[in-house]
Every structure is written in C-alpha cells, then in structure tokens.
Structure 1
Amino acid sequence: MSNNIHNNHESSLVNAAIHILSTTRTNSVETIYAESPVTIVIDRVEWEKWFLDEQTRTFCTFYNRTGGNARVKNTIFIEKFGSHAQPHTALPNPAHTSEQQDNNGLLHAGTKRGRKSTVNFNEVWYCHRAGVPRQSIRNPGQTLLPCNCAAKVVFRCEENNPLKMYIEYHWQHTGHTVGSSNDIQYTPAGRKARHLIESMVNQQMTWSSINHAIRVDRVELMRIRNSNYTKIPAIKKISYQTVYYAMRKEIKRRSQLDHVLSASLEKWGTKIESEGGHYHYNNNMDHIQEGMFAFGFITEFQKEVILEDQTTVVCMDSTHGTCVDGDGHRCFLYTLVVRSLVTGKGCPVAWMLTNSETHYPIVSWLEWVRDTLEFSPSQVMIDNSDTEIKALRDVFGDELVILICHWHIIRAWKKNIIKKVSPISRAIRTDIVRAKRAAALDILFRMMSAKIENDFDNAYHDLNQYCVRNSSWDCSSLLLYFDTDLLNTNAYTESWHRTLKETYLANIHSQRVDGLVYILYELVVVDFMNYHCDIHSNLRRRVLNRAEKNRQRLALDLSDAIDFDAEMMIVEQHVGSITVASFTQGDINYI
C-alpha cells in the first residue's frame, strides 16, 4: 500500500513538472527588481526552491563556482547546522570549542588564544554564459557559449543565524537576452527539466515513454507558429541527450555497489547468490594477461530453463561494445541461449563478462557452468570463431558436436572467395571475375545444402575439379578451408544480442561492467520471467517454429481432408501412457 502511495505521489509530481515546463515559454523576462544587485533574505529551507524557480523563470542555468576552501567550510557548516532541507541551530559542544578549559577555568597547554573562529556557509553561482567569448575551432563562424555575462548569485548563511539565507542576486545579464528565442539555443535544459527527467527515469521509464509524455500537442505547436517562433515552451529543451545522461546517472547509482569494480562485482555475486542464483568471478589470471577477469552468473529462473532439456541445441555467442572495465578498456559479453520449451522463444540462460578476447575466460566460465549445473550439452552452435571452438573442446571434449552458423559461414566464404579466387591479370573484365567467384560460391552452397553424404561428396568433388580447372586463378587454397561438417543458423543468439543493444542499452555502451550486470539481472531476466509467466497463465500463446507449424498444419489438413478417426491411430493404451502411430510414417510410433 505504501509503495502505491509513493508511486502515485511521484506520478503527481511528474505531471505537475510537465505542466510547468509546458506552460513556461520563451519571452522577454519580466524585471521584478529595481536595482542590481539586490539582497534577498529567506528561510534556508526555501532557498533551493527559490533558486530553481528563478532559473526556470529566466530560462537561465547557473553553475556552482565556489572555491575549494569555501566548499570545505560549507561541509562543516552542514554537519553542524543540518542540511538545507532540515536546518537547525547547533547546541554548544565542549569537545569542539577552540579553548579547552579544566574544571577550574584554566587553559590547557597547546590551546589557542584569541577570537573564536566562525563557520559560515558561502556559495557563488555564475550564469551559464559567463566567461571569455571565443570562436569555435571546428566551425569558425559559430560563437560558443561564453559571452562575458556578469550575472551571478551569492548565497551566505551565518552561524549566528543558521536558519536564514542571505542572497546577493546580480540579476542583470550582459551579452545576451535571457528568455529570448535566440538565447534558447545556447541554454541547456534547466534544472527543473533535469529533475523531471531524473524522476521519470527513476520510475523505469525509457526514452520512448518519456518522449511520448513530453510531446508537445497540436495546440502548443500552433501557438509557437503564431508567435513567429518566439514563444518556445521550456519542455522543448529536453532532448535525447538529456534523457541519456539521466539514464547513465541512474544506472551508475543503482549498479555501482562499490567504487572499486572488483569489490562491486563481488557484492553483485553475493546478491545474486542470496536470491537463489549462482555466480563465478575469476580475477586470478594476471599470469596470462594483466587485469584479465571473467564474471559470470546464472539466476534461479535461468537454471530452470537450461535444465529443461539438455538435448536441445545450445547457442553461444559474444558481443562487444556493451561496457568497459575499471580502466576503460572494452569488454565482451558471452551468452548461452536455448529455446525454451515453455515459450518457444530463445532465452538467455547464462552470461559472462570479460575484458579479454582469448579463450581462457571462456574456459573458466564454461567449466563453472558444467560443474555447477552438471551441464553437458550434446550440441553447441557458435559463430565461425576459433577461440570459441577451442574453449568448447577444452571443456566438453571431442564428443561435443559443434555447429557453425550458416550466416557467418556464408560471410566468411564470400570473404575468402574474393581473397583466394584472384585473376591472373588486372586486364580481365570485372564480369568474368564475378562469374568465376559466383561459380565457386554456388558449389559451396551445394555442399552446405547437401542432405545426404553422397550429395556432399559430389559437391566436394566438383569443388576439386573447379580448383584444378582454375589453378591459374590461385584458388587451390580454397580446398583447405573446410574442416566442419555441420552447419546451421545462430539466429536465437543474434536476435538476443540485437534486442539487448536496441531495447535495453540504446546508446549507453560505455557504462562500467557492473552497470551491464544490473541491466541483465534487474531488467532483462525479469522481462523473460514475465513472458514465461504469461505463457503459463494462458495470457500469451507459445511461439511455434517452422517445423512445429508444419506438423500442426499437417495434422489439421488430415482431419479436415477426410473423415479421419484419431482413435484408429492408437496402437495401445496403458495407465499413464499411450502409444500412437505416426501420421506420415507407418513404421514409427510415439509414446
């Protein structure tokens, strides 16, 4: 109940902020003070709201330029007199007085005499266009943000009255006209807009949903047109970059359980383990490569899916450009994907993150998966990767059937045909070169599509003859390229990685490793669990592959075409089992 109340409160605040930003438009800013600077005295608890409202009113953003020594004193002031949201007057603390006396009123040796030091709060904020004007190096005709604006705000709170804030407001801007449509191009999204976006991101809203919520309606667009584009609502300054920054900030806050990456990953592992999952963290590989690590994990839900049927084909693939390690080096995400028997769709069942392209982290991870889950797949499908093949052979032995993805094989074939089927002279016409290469690729396609061994052997014989006939084209090395005998497609894994990058990461590819761990564990797994629950609850239908659709259509055609009695297909029936003859092959029975 309390969560619902909190969410409703958050939603009402978001709606209120959207309304304010939609109705605050660029225009000449009203002058409300007679002279500049002006001194304003307000309650300290109210000063941040005043400052935020003033920036929204003037379409101006101020930045804190307080010096380092003053920042230290400000921290001491906050510790002594409370935060701005909950200020208080501090009680005297004898332990912190500058002159320590004994019970007789005598000063102890080493104590300072003289006037007692005071602790005041001081901050200086300057307009976002303060600074020396300069031209853009990349675009010489473009003037950059600074224009020597003299506007600033000085905040001061004294310890003899810590509940009041004294504001020295230099409100007169120079070098630009605040609130004008010309100035808005130099104005960043205001703090109120950024607070709005942070609230929406905190409610798990994505760029698509945020973009829909802040969309300007037809009436407002007509108002902008009728004003000759001089009255622009403040909400128009919210861009994808604003949301992107807020999302990165929120992911960092939620994912970095420690400033040090290794400690953060250990804490993530402990969290995953406490919630029924398993994790593997191997950072003891400096003897192979300095800083090399492997972090893998499996949730309780993924464990159930991967153990549903170990006879199914397991897809393994890696993708880069998803995260970086503590030193900013790019990392790689390895995923095991199987087709769920419940949903009929590909489901990631294990992940591993590493900063190395070698096979050692893969071996470390796969050995852990094998030993932890007693997992021993019969077939694994991969890309055309020698690194992955070596790791799989080291862990599961030569008995494992390794399938190579059709798409990656074809891509590699085309690349190698261009390299290995080379004309002896540049004078040979382009169409002749293309025809030679197309003939080689056609033979390779016949080898790929061979359904029986004899067809494969015939195609391989044709490839031999082709290379002999065209020996002058230097294509004999093409024969050395074939050492795998089973081909298929790695579509489940490719589809999963595309979904990860487009739906969950968008353009957020440079977060730390623990940021991706957070996304995978808290968002991705939850979505797959949700889909799984929907299938069990009959809220969605199971996805059928092509073979299942063909079998279903065949069964329906049989029952529709003739007066087919299904009972005639029953061979024998016992308690708990039934044997049925095949619809298409009379010598096969199914139990």
Structure 2
Amino acid sequence: MHILRESPKRKSPIDITVIAVTLLGREISGFKDADDENISYPSTENGESVTRRQIRMKLNRDSLTMPIQNVDSQVCTEAIAHMYRKWHKARTQKDMDDDVSVRRWLDDLEAREYTVWRIADDDSSQYAFGFCSAWQKDELTKSDNWSMDATHHMGPDPNALLYTIIVRHHLANRGIPVAYLFTNDKSAYPITKWLECIAGSGASPKIITIDCNLGEVKAIQTVWGDNCRIQYCTWHVQRAWINQLVDKAVEWGTSATRMEPKHVEMQTMRDAMKALMREQDRNEFFNK
C-alpha cells in the first residue's frame, strides 16, 4: 500500500488529492516489467483510475521533493573532488613542509632498496633529487640507447623540471622510464651530477636522444665525451625550424595580396623541411 499526495502547485491528470494504490497483489517494483504502461487501476478512495505511468511519475516527483534529513546523503562533484584531494594529500605528503616531506620520501625509498640521488647545491633555494628502482637500474645499465625527456612546469614552482631517462624494454619492445630527476635548476650542473652518478653505477650509453637543450648537451659531453653520440628529437628540431621560418619569412606585395602567397610559400617550405627531416644521406641533407 502506497499513499501518494498530490502537490497543490501541480495539476494531476486525475483530479484527486489522495490515491491509495494496490496493484492486485503486485509490488510497485513490478511496474518496469509490466507489458502495458497505460493499463488503469482503480483507486480505493474515490473510484478514479490511475495508470502505472502516472503512478511512477508521481512517485518520482515525490521522492525528488522529499527533504534530505542528513547532509551525508547528498553526493555532489565538489564533495567527491574534496575527498579525493584529502586522500591524495595523505598518501603523497609526508609532512606539511615540502623539504621535510621530500627527505622522508627519499629515506623511505632507500629503505626499500631504491637508488636515490641527492644533489647538493650552495643555493638553498634550488633543489635536485632523483631515484630509480632496482629493476629500473638494471634496465638502465644494460641499455646503450637512451632518450632523455624534460617536462616543464612540474607543480606550483614555475622553474620545476622533471628529467626522465627512457629505454626500450627488451621484452615489451616499447619505451619505459628508468630514472627520474626533479630540479628547479635549469643549468647543466644538476644534470651533470646526476649523469655522473649513473655512470658510476656502470651505465655507458652509446646514443642519447634529447630535446634541443644546450645544458643537456654539455652534461652528456662532460660525462661520456665522444663515447656517446647525441641526437636531437625530430619534433623539437622541426619546431625550431618552423619557428625560424615564421620569424624570418619575408613578405612581399601589397597588404591586400601578400598574405595568400606568403601562406602558400610557407606551406611549401614546411613540406620541404619535413622531407629533409627524414633524409638519411649526409651529403643529400646538406645539398638540398
């Protein structure tokens, strides 16, 4: 037995104030499985009839307008995001002070047999630290072809950088990260110290692919000299070429006509640069 009260602000298709509905022994939950939504059932109060669809709509309206007695029953996006932030902070931050939190994390990683790098600097405002696990160190030392990536804007510090060394896994046949360095020092100093520590563990790469960064070039040459060949990421090289093209392309003609030919010529030059990027013959590269 379900008592349904009609809201005075809404007009029901059936003008009744109280409907007591008994579906011939069926429960309300059986509405969804019924074959015909429009079969009418008599009310026990005034003889008027009501369909299953009207009953379900009335139940839905009443359930939505019922007052929520406890705030815990309210679920919203902001509450979920707040709970996630609390959970994430509790798992990642070991102290309210960031320096203390980092030291505790590095101590914890060392206790779990990670390789940890703490690179000291006379400037207290700058930091550099890194780590890798035991299996990552094994992959790092036996691989002779590396890729070193720099990710900028790590966290609230605008100068924060994350350097990642990536190698190709011999079983997965895809790139995997094997060493990390966090720093806000954009000079060659922290990278050089980091690579010296890695070289001290037995790593001796033959080729390292890097961004177009002179600090990375200087660090690699300082540690391995001519024994390691440096090659640049094609995407970064192409971006540098395009930037130079945009800056140095000469416009011609009147203001009304020069934009279209410039666009066409620049697109032609872009296509030529992309083709040049894939050239494998050194002489052909410089003669094009």
- Calculate the TM-score normalised by the size of structure 1: 0.35
1:249 maps to 2:86: yes
1:342 maps to 2:171: yes
Number of the residue aligned with 2:185: 356
User: Which amino acid counterpart does residue 316 of structure 1 have in structure 2?
Assistant: M
Note if contact 1:319-1:334 (Cα within 8 Å) is conserved in structure 2.
yes
Number of the residue aligned with 1:238: 76
Q: What are the Cα deviations for residues 214-271 of structure 1, in whole angstroms up to 9, with x where unaligned?
A: xxxxxxx9789534953487655331x4333333323332333344333332322222
Matched ranges for 1:345-384 at <5 A: 345-371=174-200, 373-384=201-212
Number of the residue aligned with 1:318: 150
Deviation of the 1:338 alpha carbon? 0.9
User: Which amino acid counterpart does residue 284 of structure 1 have in structure 2?
Assistant: D
Number of the residue aligned with 1:291: 125
User: Which amino acid counterpart does residue 294 of structure 1 have in structure 2?
Assistant: A
> In structure 1, how many angstroms separate the alpha carbons of the residues matched to 2:57 and 2:154?
42
Match of 2:222 among 394, 399, 412: 394
Please list every run of 5 or more consecutive structure 1 residues that lacks an aligned counterpart in the other structure.
1-220, 460-591
Number of the residue aligned with 1:410: 238
> In structure 2, how many angstroms separate the alpha carbons of the residues matched to 1:232 and 1:330?
51
Q: 1:385 to 1:284 in 2, by over 3 A?
A: closer
> In structure 1, how many angstroms separate the alpha carbons of the residues matched to 2:279 and 2:286?
9
Deviation of the 1:408 alpha carbon? 2.0
Q: 1:254 to 1:420 in 2, by over 3 A?
A: same
Deviation of the 1:330 alpha carbon? 5.2
Deviation of the 1:294 alpha carbon? 0.3
Q: What are the Cα deviations for residues 294-320 of structure 1, in whole angstroms up to 9, with x where unaligned?
A: 01011112112223x422x21111213
Match of 1:278 among 115, 121, 125: 115
> In structure 2, how many angstroms separate the alpha carbons of the residues matched to 1:395 and 1:249?
43
Runs of 4+ aligned residues of structure 1 deviating over 4 Å after TM superposition are: 221-225, 231-236
Number of the residue aligned with 1:436: 265
Matched ranges for 1:215-230 at <5 A: 226-227=61-62, 229-230=64-65
Note if contact 2:166-2:176 (Cα within 8 Å) is conserved in structure 1.
yes
Q: 1:421 to 1:256 in 2, by over 3 A?
A: same
Number of the residue aligned with 1:484: none
Deviation of the 1:329 alpha carbon? 5.6
> In structure 1, how many angstroms separate the alpha carbons of the residues matched to 2:125 and 2:136?
29
> In structure 2, how many angstroms separate the alpha carbons of the residues matched to 1:389 and 1:369?
16
> In structure 1, how many angstroms separate the alpha carbons of the residues matched to 2:120 and 2:85?
26
Q: What are the Cα deviations for residues 312-336 of structure 1, in whole angstroms up to 9, with x where unaligned?
A: x211112134324xxx565221111
> In structure 2, how many angstroms separate the alpha carbons of the residues matched to 1:224 and 1:247?
34
Matched ranges for 1:43-192 at <5 A: none
1:455 maps to 2:281: no
Note if contact 2:252-2:258 (Cα within 8 Å) is conserved in structure 1.
no
Q: 1:305 to 1:222 in 2, by over 3 A?
A: farther
Q: What are the Cα deviations for residues 336-365 of structure 1, in whole angstroms up to 9, with x where unaligned?
A: 111111222221100111122332222222
Note if contact 1:269-1:278 (Cα within 8 Å) is conserved in structure 2.
no
How many residue pairs match? The answer is 229
Q: Which moved more, 1:223-232 or 1:245-254?
A: 223-232
Number of the residue aligned with 1:20: none
Note if contact 2:209-2:231 (Cα within 8 Å) is conserved in structure 1.
yes
Question: Percent same amino acid at aligned positions?
Answer: 28
Number of the residue aligned with 1:501: none
User: Which amino acid counterpart does residue 310 of structure 1 have in structure 2?
Assistant: S
- Calculate the TM-score normalised by the size of structure 2: 0.69
Q: 1:228 to 1:250 in 2, by over 3 A?
A: closer
> In structure 2, how many angstroms separate the alpha carbons of the residues matched to 1:332 and 1:306?
21
Please list every run of 5 or more consecutive structure 2 residues that lacks an aligned counterpart in the other structure.
1-55
Q: What are the Cα deviations for residues 181-238 of structure 1, in whole angstroms up to 9, with x where unaligned?
A: xxxxxxxxxxxxxxxxxxxxxxxxxxxxxxxxxxxxxxxx978953495348765533
Deviation of the 1:279 alpha carbon? 0.6
Note if contact 2:129-2:181 (Cα within 8 Å) is conserved in structure 1.
yes
Deviation of the 1:425 alpha carbon? 5.3
Q: What are the Cα deviations for residues 118-157 of structure 1, in whole angstroms up to 9, with x where unaligned?
A: xxxxxxxxxxxxxxxxxxxxxxxxxxxxxxxxxxxxxxxx
Q: What are the Cα deviations for residues 466-495 of structure 1, in whole angstroms up to 9, with x where unaligned?
A: xxxxxxxxxxxxxxxxxxxxxxxxxxxxxx
Deviation of the 1:456 alpha carbon? 1.7
> In structure 2, how many angstroms separate the alpha carbons of the residues matched to 1:365 and 1:225?
64
